[in-house]
A and B are shown apart, each in its own frame.
Chain A
Amino acid sequence: MSTETTLRRVGQVPGRATSVARPARRRKRGPQLKSLLIACVFLAPLAVFYGIYYFYGFGFLAQVSTEQVSLSFLSAVNVGWDNFRLVLTDSIFQRSLLNNLALAAFSVFVALTLGFLVAMMLASGLRARRLIYTVVLLPSLIPLSLFATVFGRMLDTRDGAINELLRNVGLGFMAQDWIVNEPSAYAALGILLTFMIGLPVIYYTADLGQVNGSILEAATLDGASVWQIFRLILFPVLRNTHTTVIIAAVLGSFRAFDIVFFSTGGQPGGRTGIIGTYIYSSALGSDRVGFAAAASIIVLVIALSLSLVQLIFGRKNK
C-alpha cells in the first residue's frame, strides 16, 4: 500500500527522511517545507473566508472611516480623522458606550449571582434537573428577535402583560409607560438580560466536573451547610470560570444588538442604545456610513484587545 508519494509525506516522523545521502541541512528543511505546504492546503479555505470578510473587510472599514459616504460607496469625500472626532464627541455614541459597559456589568452581576446559584443547585442532585436546565437555557437559545419582541410587547402601557400583572396583584401604581421613561426602560433591559444566564450556567455546570469531591465531603462532615459550601468553597474554587464568564459577558454586550433593537429600540431618544444599535442606525438609518465605520473600528479595537488579553492570560494559566 505504500508508494513513493506517501513516503514523502512523513515529515513528522524523525529519522525517516527520504535519503541518507542528502546533506543534513536539506534533510531537515525538506520535510519542514513539505509540512508547511500541506498545512497551507488544509488552511486555504479558512484563509479565503478570513481574507475576504476579516482582513479585506477591516481594510475597507479603515478606508471608509476616513470618508463621508453613503451605502452605495460612490462619490466618497475624504474627511480624514473627522469621523472619529465626531463619533467620539457624539453624546449618543458616548451614551451607547456607557450603556454597553453597564450592560456588561449587569450581565456579570446576574451571572455571578443567579447564574452561579442556579448551576450549583442543579448539580446538587435534585429531581427534574434536566428539565430545569433546559428551561433556564431556552431564552438564550431561541432567536433574540423573537424573545425580545414578545418581551417588548409585554412592556406595552395599555395591555402589556407586565402592567396587567402589576394591576392584578394590587401594584397598579407601578404600572407605567416602560419604554418612555428612561429609568424604567433600563429596568426593562435589566430584566431582559436576567433571562440570558444560559451561557454562564453552562460554563459553571461544565467546570463543576473538575471540582475535587473530597473537599466537599470533608466540609459536609465538618457540619457545613450546602449554602456555606456554595459560598465559601465552590465560589472561590471556580474563579477561573468567573473569569471566562466575565469576558464572555463583556464580549456578549457588543453582540447584544438584537436585545436592545427589538425591546426598547434604543428609546427614549437613543438613550438606551448600545454600540451595536448605533452602528446599525448610522449605516442604515441615517446613511452616515463613515460614522458607522469609525464606531465599528472602535468596537473592534476594544473587542480584539480583550480577546488577545484573554488568550495570553489563558495560556499563562495553563
Chain B
Amino acid sequence: MTDSANEGSLPLRLRIADKWIMYLILGVTCLVFLFPLINAFQASIQVGGLMNYWTVLTRDYNGVSIPLTFLNSGIIAAMHAAIVCVVGSLAGYAFSRIPFVGRTATYYLVLIFLAVPATAILVPVYHITSSMQLFNSYLGVAMPEATLTLPFAVLLLKNQIDAMPVSLMEAAVMDRAGHFRIYFHVVLPLLRGPLVSLAALSIMWSLQDFLFPATLLRDVSLTTAAQAVQTIKGAFGPTAYENSLYYAALMLLAVPALIIIVGGFKYISRGMTNGSIKE
C-alpha cells in the first residue's frame, strides 16, 4: 500500500528561484481554491454576524431542520459503507483466493460497471424503489448508492487481498482451514486498513449524493444535507439578512463532509490511489 500524500519526494535539486516560482504558483492556486469558501463565510456573517449560525441551526426551513439532515445523511452514509464493506470484501476474497471456473470473465464483468453514471440508472432505480416500497426509507437510498460503489469496492479489495503474503494463506490451508475460516480469521483482520479507506470513501460519496435522495425521499423529515441545499433555498427571502442566513446554512451543511474529509483524509486519498484501475 503506497501513501499518496507522498512522504518521499523526487530527487530534484531546486534553485532558489525555482522554489519561489513554485510557492507563488501553488500559493495562488490555494487562494483561488479557497476563494469560494472564504467568500461564502464572509457572506454568511455580513449581516447578523456569527449569531446567524445559531439562528440557522435552531430553525426549520421549509420543514427542514439542519441538525436533522446531518442525522439522515449519517444514517444513509453508514448503511452505504456497511453494505459496500461486507459485500465487497466477500466478493474480493472470491475473486482473489477461490480458483473457480470463469473467474477472470466474471471479475471483468463486475468491473465494467465502474463506468455506470448515477443518472443513467435513475429511471430503473425509481421503478425498483417503488416496487420494493422503499420510497422514503434510508435503505432505499443507501442500496442504489452502494450498488454504484460496489465495482470500485471489489476492485480495491481484490487488489489488497492479492497483495497479502501467500505464506499466511498457505499456513491456513495447511491447517486445513476452509475458505470461510480463512476469510474471517486471516483476511478480514489484515483488511482492516483498506476497509477503513473504503468506508471513508463510501461515506464521502454518500454525503456528495444529491440525485437519489432528491428523487427517492419526499418526506421532508428525511431530507439529507446535500439535498437540503435545494430544499431550503426558497425559504430565504431576498433581503441582505436572509441572504447571509442562507450562506450560513450552506456553510453548516458542508460541516459533515468537511469533518469526514479532514478527519479521514489519509484514508480517502489512500483508497482513491489504490483503487485506480491499473493494478
Q: Which residues of A contact B (CB under 8 A)?
A: 1-2, 5-7, 9-13, 32, 35-36, 38-39, 42-43, 45-46, 49-50, 52-54, 56-58, 60-61, 64, 71, 73, 114, 117-118, 120-126, 129-130, 132-139, 141-147, 149-151, 154, 161, 195, 199, 202-203, 205-206, 208-209, 211, 213, 216-217, 220, 225-227, 229, 240, 244, 251, 254-255, 257-258, 261-262, 275-276, 279-280, 283-284, 289, 292-293, 296, 299-300, 303-304, 306-308, 310-311, 314, 317
Contact = CB atoms under 8 A, between A and B. Distances in A.
Nearest to B146: A49
B9 A137 contact: no
B235 interface: no
Interface of B: 2, 4-6, 8-15, 18-19, 22-23, 25-26, 29-30, 33-37, 39-40, 43, 83, 86-88, 90-91, 93-94, 98-101, 103, 106, 108, 110-128, 130, 143-144, 146-147, 150, 154, 173, 175-179, 181, 183, 204, 207-208, 210-211, 215, 225-227, 229-230, 247, 250, 253-254, 257-258, 261-262, 265, 268-269, 272-273, 276-278
B100 A35 contact: yes
Contact of B11 (A121, A216, A308): A216
A contacts with B: majority SS:
helix
Contacts of B83: 49
Contacts of A261: 210
Given A39-B94, A49-B147, A213 B11 contact: yes
Given A53-B124, A292-B123, A300-B120, A143 B226 contact: yes
B122 A143 contact: no
A205 B5 CA distance: 7
17 contacts: A35-B98, A42-B98, A45-B91, A50-B150, A73-B127, A118-B25, A123-B6, A129-B9, A142-B254, A145-B208, A226-B13, A226-B14, A240-B278, A276-B117, A279-B122, A283-B122, A304-B115
A118 B35 CA distance: 18
A125 B229 contact: no
A38 B257 contact: no
A289 B5 contact: no
A299 B177 CA distance: 46
A142 B257 CA distance: 6
Contacts of A293: 123
A95 to B, nearest CB: 17
B228 to A, nearest CB: 9
Given A53-B143, A143-B207, A240-B278, A39 B10 contact: no
Contact of B98 (A39, A141, A308): A39
